[in-house]
Amino acid sequence: MAHRSRNALRSSPAAVRPDNFLSRGQQLAFLGQGPPTGSQGSELLNLAREAIFILNNDGAIIFWNRGAEQLYGWSPPEATGRCPTELLKTELPRPAAQIENILRSETYWDGELRQTTKHEQRVTVASRWALWRDESDRICGRFQLDTDITRRKQIENELRVLSGRLLSLRDEERRRLARDLHDSVGQLLAGAAMNLTMVERKLPFPDPGSLQCLKSLASLLEQSVKEVRTMSYLLHPPLLDEVGLPSALEWYISGFSERSQIKVELDLPQDLGRFRHDVELALFRIVQETLTNVHRHSESPTAKVTLSKSPSQVRLKVEDCGKGMDLPLNHADSEERPVLGVGISGMRERVRNLGGQMQIRSGSWGTVVEILLPIAEGKPSLSPGDEAS
Ligand SMILES: Nc1ncnc2c1ncn2[C@@H]1O[C@H](COP(=O)(O)OP(=O)(O)OP(=O)(O)O)[C@@H](O)[C@H]1O
Ligand SMILES: [Mg+2]
């Protein structure tokens, strides 16, 4: 997302303020020497490893540093006078006119750009633009600093694919475990319970002590059968595949309320219908994780799960009225994002893999986790201005 601040450059292109753009060592070169002269300023900008260029009011390049030559392959004489968007076949994240407006009102803009070098290589850069004004506040052009983040983006993509693969492997593993547990231990225990009933019937005159022992054994076996079935269903509810999300959620939520003593309201439309298997599984897992979080962390006596859909998207909302999360939320930038448990990051990953959006709001009034998943073509939107997080 683009961040903006209010610091226009009021200087000649060759004496651009260094504090935002140069490393500490490069900044020190400025100290104690007074303002750099034109050629010194250009030399200093050439010290930066980032691509730096300056455009005049017509959008033509009038300064192109060494970093720009190294990144894009065009020499300063080749680049000078050209329009950078055309020269670098820039893909902007939003229409150029919008960026121009932001730049004029905020004096600063940053975002990610896809560009093409002289040698036809595609690169992704983190680009920072600043409006350049002269001493009498007239706009003279703009300053642009591009940092190559191609490798980082590739690694992020690889990680995303890997984490998606890990999530689906975990789902497959859970499904296999659920079936094995149900079909092996579950069946053995059920068989043992039947045999015990037979023994009870066939014993001619058992003494009261033995009879009591047999009864308690039968009750233990019955409890074990139930436990194994619940464990198996929690690992992967068969209802989800067979009948669909509403029945699986009703089953899960009634068991959850019984175990946790948290009253949960489930609000589902009558005609929810069926979604793609991965969408249903993601929604079920997210309800499981959010309710487990409500139980473990919120101290809320109640919770509410709401599902609704439109032709293009399904919306899930899980709310509690507990003590709220004690963490900064919804950081788009992964470095700023606090380290959470596996639960919330796993939910984010599921949602991202399905092209959806997730938003968490929390305060002393409780916590709301809201998810949108696309069920048809088109990108879902939580509300105007919301971002994926
Ligand atoms: N409903 C909630 N109310 C209050 N705090 C919450 C709630 N949900 C999550 N949190 C806070 O957010 C943190 C991260 O949650 P997350 O589910 O990612 O991890 P976790 O539950 O601690 O561990 P796990 O990896 O087992 O899920 C929790 O430790 C808790 O502090
Ligand atoms: Mg959790």
State the CB neighbour count (10 A cutoff) for residue 201.
7
- The answer to whether the CB of 319 is under 6 A from ligand 1 is no
Query: Which atom of ligand 1 lies nearest, measured to the CA of 324?
Result: 4
- The answer to whether the CB of 41 is under 6 A from ligand 1 is no
Name residues whose C-beta falls within 8 Å of residue 136's C-beta, 6 or more positions apart in sequence: none
Q: For the chain, state the CA radius of gyration.
A: 31
Q: pLDDT value at position 273?
A: 87
Nearest CA to ligand 1 atom 10: 325
The amino acid at 133: R
- The answer to whether the CB of 286 is under 6 A from ligand 1 is no
**Ligand 1: distance of its center to the CA of 166 in Å?**
21
- The answer to whether the CB of 164 is under 6 A from ligand 1 is no
Out of 264, 325, 360, 389, mutate this one to test ligand 1's pocket (max ligand atoms within 8 Å of CB): namely 325
Q: In 337-381, which ranges are continuous DSSP H helix?
A: 342-353
Q: Report d(CA 252, CA 378) in Å as an integer.
A: 31
Ligand nearest to the backbone CA of 367? 1
97, 104, 135, 30: CA torsion to nearest 10: -90
Which strand (E) or helix (H) includes residue 116? strand 108-116
Strands (E) in 167-293, as ranges, are 263-267
Q: pLDDT value at position 92?
A: 94
What does the pLDDT look like over 131-189, one tens digit per residue?
998 888 899 999 999 999 999 999 999 998 898 889 889 989 998 999 898 889 888 99
Out of 170, 344, 368, mutate this one to test ligand 1's pocket (max ligand atoms within 8 Å of CB): namely 344
Nearest CA to ligand 1 atom 1: 294
- The answer to whether the CB of 297 is under 6 A from ligand 1 is yes
Quick one: fold of 239-389? Heat Shock Protein 90 (3.30.565)
Out of 291, 292, 293, mutate this one to test ligand 1's pocket (max ligand atoms within 8 Å of CB): namely 293
Q: pLDDT value at position 307?
A: 96
3-state SS, residue 317: strand
The DSSP 8-state label assigned to residue 9 in this structure reads E
Residues of the chain with pLDDT under 50: 1-7, 12-35, 332-334, 378, 383-389
What does the pLDDT look like over 328-348, one tens digit per residue?
655 544 455 555 678 898 899
What does the pLDDT look like over 81-113, one tens digit per residue?
999 999 999 999 999 999 999 999 999 999 999
**Ligand 1: distance of its center to the CA of 328 in Å?**
12
- The answer to whether the CB of 300 is under 6 A from ligand 1 is no
Quick one: fold of 9-148? Beta-Lactamase (3.30.450)
Which strand (E) or helix (H) includes residue 111? strand 108-116
- The answer to whether the CB of 179 is under 6 A from ligand 1 is no
- The answer to whether the CB of 340 is under 6 A from ligand 1 is yes
**Ligand 1: distance of its center to the CA of 266 in Å?**
21
**Ligand 2: distance of its center to the CA of 343 in Å?**
4
